[in-house]
Structure 1
Amino acid sequence: MNDDDPREVLTMLKVEHRRLDEEIERMRETGNCDQLELARMKKRKLALKDEIQQLADRIVPDIIA
């Protein structure tokens, strides 16, 4: 992966966010999950969401029409 290409980085962040979302959902469905691990994963997912939004804002300029 080329870290200089923000679109590639954005794609990778979205993939990781989606993976975490699926893993969190699986843990909830089984009902047998470590609450500390679940909280850590949710925190990471939220951080990824913020990072994705910041990067997307830099890639797509805010155009006032």
Structure 2
Amino acid sequence: MAVRAVRGAVPLERDDAGHLAEQVGTLLTAVLERDGLTADDLIIESDQPRAALTHVYLGAAAALRKDIAQ
């Protein structure tokens, strides 16, 4: 089974630990949903081909990687 890496980013509107945790949770949920992954995949061992995975850049973070952001 191959190990795959998935990229992502999310913007922070303020420097606050609670806000960071919320935004990272949102990003992680989006990555899992968009790539059809489960918590068990998070190491990340997957039978999916590399081309089937998407990198998730949410909100204003999409401007960071317009070439790969979905």
Task: Please classify the TM superposition score into its range, dividing by the shorter chain length.
Answer: 0.3 to 0.5
More helix by share: 1
More strand by share: 2
Q: What TM-score comes out, normalization by structure 1 length?
A: 0.38
Q: What TM-score comes out, normalization by structure 2 length?
A: 0.35
- Choose 1 or 2 for highest CA Rg: 1
